[in-house]
Structure 1
C-alpha cells in the first residue's frame, strides 16, 4: 500500500516551467506529461499512449494536441484521441486520462484524485501573497530523496533547527524550549517562542537587531503536505501580538511537497518577507540562505530514508517532540482509508473513463 493521498491539490510545476513544449513529470508514482495550449491554459495527461504504451512526452505538439512519437496517434488536452493515422475510425478506448489543473500563486496545481471533488477553494491560502510591503522569492525547487511524510515530520518539528540548521535558522538558545501543538480539522501547528535569545544567523545577516530578541517559530502543516513556516523576531520584551510581529522581522516560508515516488519528493517553495522589500540583492541572498537551509534538511532526510529502507521500520523510539508528526501521519492515514473505502469513480464516456485509467 502506498502513502499517497490522491484527493488533494499538489503543485505540478511552477507556471514558468510549463510552456509550448512537452514536459514529463512523475507525480504520486504516475508518469505525466504537461504543456500549455496556445490560449495559455495548461494541460496534463498520463504520459503513455494507449496503443503500445510509448511515452507521449517523446512525441511532439501539433497545434494544441500531443502526437505520439511512435505511430502518430494524436490526443487533445482532455485526453480524447482526435486522429489515428491510416484509419478514419477512432477506437472508443483510444483515450488518455487527463487531470484538473488550476494556476495560482505562480504555480500549476494538479488534482490526481476524483475529478468531481477538485474544488480550487481547497488550495491552501498563501498569506501576504501580492500584498504591499512584502517581498517575494518564488519559483524555487529542490528534489528530496525521501518519502514526503519524512519531510512533513521535519516541517512540524521546530526542535531539529538547533542541530540541523546551526548555520542558518537555528542556535543553541532553543535547545530546551518545549514545543506546543495545536490541531484543526485539516492542519497541525507546532510552535514555540524563544525569548531573550541571540538572533540566529539568518537574522544577523538580514536584520539590524541590537541586543537579544524574542523569536518565534510557527510550523503549520496543511493536509496532506503543504507547509507554512511563520518565522521571525521582535526586540526582547516586546508584545507578541500579530501587529507587533508584522512590524518586526517576519517571513512566511511556504513549502509545497508533491510526492514523486515512495522515496522521492518534489519540493517547491516560495518565501515572503517584510524586510529589504524591493531589493534584488536581498532576494538573491534570501534564496541562497533558504536553499542552504532546505539542503541541510534534504541531506539528513536522505540518510534517514536509506536506513529506513535497510531496516524496514520508520523508528524504534518516539519522543515528546514527535507529537505533531504523529498527528499528521494519523490524519493522512485517515484520508487514505477514506479513499480506499470510496474508490475513485469516473464518468463513462469522458477522457477519464475506465478505459483511460492508467494501469
Structure 2
C-alpha cells in the first residue's frame, strides 16, 4: 500500500456529484469507497466491500440510510454496522465495513482517513471563493502520482514553456518576475510570482494602447496533502486598474492509486472557458505530467536524484513537508512547523 499521509483532509468529490437516494462510488487512496448523502443532510463514506464474500457494495441497493449487498443481502448503516440480516439471524459482530466521517465545506466533501480524534474541521483549507454560481465544478483523472501533479502546480515557471498557446506568458516570468516562497503557521506554503512593468499579452494590447505595461500576480497556496488554490490578478501598471477581474481557482488533488490522481477544479461557464481548460489541462499539462510519471517507472523521486532549480523551491518544500508528516505518523519525529 502506498505511503499516504493519513492525518489530513482529502477531497472525496464535489457535493453535487452525490445523487439523492444513491451514492458516489470512487477509488480514493487506492481503496474503493461509497459516499452517501444521508436523510439528515449529512454524509458518510463506506468501504465498498462487503465483509461476507467481499462483493462490491456498489453492486447492491440503497434502502434509506443503509446499503444492502447485492450478493447476499446484508445491510450496513451509515456507521458501517451490519443492521440487516435477510434470513432473520443476528448479524455477526465482525460484520461491519469501515466508515469515515465526511464534512461538506464550500461545495466540496472532505474525509479524514487517519486518527478520528485529530480530525478538526476547522483545519480544512478555505475555498469560500469558489462557491458562487459563476464557478462550474469539475473533475478529471490524471494517470500520474499526486506528488508529480503537485510539482507541476507549485512550480508556475513551466507556464513559460508548456502553456505558450493557452496562457501565453510570453517570457514575462523570465524577464519581469520575482518569486517569493512563504510558509505560514497553518501549514500553508505559498509560491508567489509578482510581475511588474511587463509587456501585456496580445489580447490585452488593443484595450491598453501603445507602450502600455502591466503588473500581474500569480500566487498559489498549498496545504497537505495536495490541496491548492491559485490566485491571479492583472492590472494596468500606469493606473493600477484591473484589466480583468481577479481570478481564484481550486486545484485539489486526491490520490486514486499510486499511479493516478483525481483532479478537482472549477472553471467559468461557456465554450471559451471550456476550450481554455481543455487546452491548458488536457492538451498541455496532462500529457507532460503523465510522461514524467512513465519515465520514472516507479522509481522514487529522490532516488532518481532530481536536479533542483530555484524555481522548484515551493514544490520541494511541499514534498519535504509530506516526508515530515509521514515520519511523524510513523513515530519517527514530531511534525515540523
Change (3 A) 1:325 1:154: same
Change (3 A) 1:172 1:337: same
* Alignment partner, residue 298 of structure 1: 286
1:253 is aligned to 2:249: yes
Say if 2:3 and 2:326, in contact at 8 Å, map to a contact too: yes
Say if 2:130 and 2:266, in contact at 8 Å, map to a contact too: no
* Alignment partner, residue 160 of structure 1: 158
Q: How much does 1:219 deviate? A: 1.6
More relative contact order, 1 or 2 (CA 8 Å, 6+ apart): 1
Say if 1:27 and 1:261, in contact at 8 Å, map to a contact too: yes
Say if 2:213 and 2:238, in contact at 8 Å, map to a contact too: no
Question: Within 1, Cα distance between the matches of 2:272 and 2:91?
Answer: 55
Q: How much does 1:310 deviate? A: 6.2
User: Where does 1:317-356 land on structure 2 (aligned, <5 Å)?
Assistant: 317-341=307-331
Q: How much does 1:231 deviate? A: 1.0
1:316 is aligned to 2:306: yes
1:79 is aligned to 2:80: yes
Higher mean C-alpha deviation, range 300-309 or range 209-218:
209-218
Question: Within 2, Cα distance between the matches of 1:331 and 1:150?
Answer: 15
Question: Within 2, Cα distance between the matches of 1:310 and 1:126?
Answer: 33
Q: How much does 1:42 deviate? A: 2.4
Q: How much does 1:249 deviate? A: 3.5
Q: How much does 1:97 deviate? A: 0.8
Give the TM-score, by structure 1 length: 0.82
Give the TM-score, by structure 2 length: 0.87
* Alignment partner, residue 56 of structure 1: 57
User: Where does 1:193-232 land on structure 2 (aligned, <5 Å)?
Assistant: 193-200=194-201, 204=204, 208-210=207-209, 211-232=212-233
Q: Size of the alignment, in residue pairs?
A: 323
Change (3 A) 1:237 1:4: farther
* Deviation sequence 1:238-265 (CA, Å, 0-9, x none): 55xxxx76x8641111111111111111
* Deviation sequence 1:338-357 (CA, Å, 0-9, x none): 22229xxxxxxxxxxxxxxx
Say if 1:254 and 1:271, in contact at 8 Å, map to a contact too: no
Segments of 5+ residues of structure 1 without an aligned counterpart are 273-279, 343-359
* Alignment partner, residue 115 of structure 1: 116
Say if 2:216 and 2:234, in contact at 8 Å, map to a contact too: yes
Higher mean C-alpha deviation, range 60-69 or range 39-48:
39-48
1:146 is aligned to 2:144: yes
Say if 1:32 and 1:47, in contact at 8 Å, map to a contact too: yes
Say if 2:23 and 2:34, in contact at 8 Å, map to a contact too: yes
Say if 1:18 and 1:42, in contact at 8 Å, map to a contact too: no
Question: Within 2, Cα distance between the matches of 1:5 and 1:54?
Answer: 28
Q: How much does 1:319 deviate? A: 1.5
Secondary structure of the structure 1 residue equivalent to 2:297: helix
Question: Within 1, Cα distance between the matches of 2:93 and 2:261?
Answer: 35
* Alignment partner, residue 335 of structure 2: none
Question: Within 1, Cα distance between the matches of 2:204 and 2:67?
Answer: 51
Say if 2:253 and 2:264, in contact at 8 Å, map to a contact too: yes
Question: Within 1, Cα distance between the matches of 2:86 and 2:144?
Answer: 43
Question: Within 2, Cα distance between the matches of 1:124 and 1:112?
Answer: 16
Question: Within 2, Cα distance between the matches of 1:331 and 1:110?
Answer: 20
Question: Within 2, Cα distance between the matches of 1:137 and 1:112?
Answer: 28
Change (3 A) 1:184 1:3: farther
Secondary structure of the structure 2 residue equivalent to 1:151: helix
Change (3 A) 1:52 1:209: farther
Q: How much does 1:332 deviate? A: 0.7
Question: Within 2, Cα distance between the matches of 1:51 and 1:204?
Answer: 63
* Alignment partner, residue 175 of structure 1: 174
* Alignment partner, residue 356 of structure 1: none
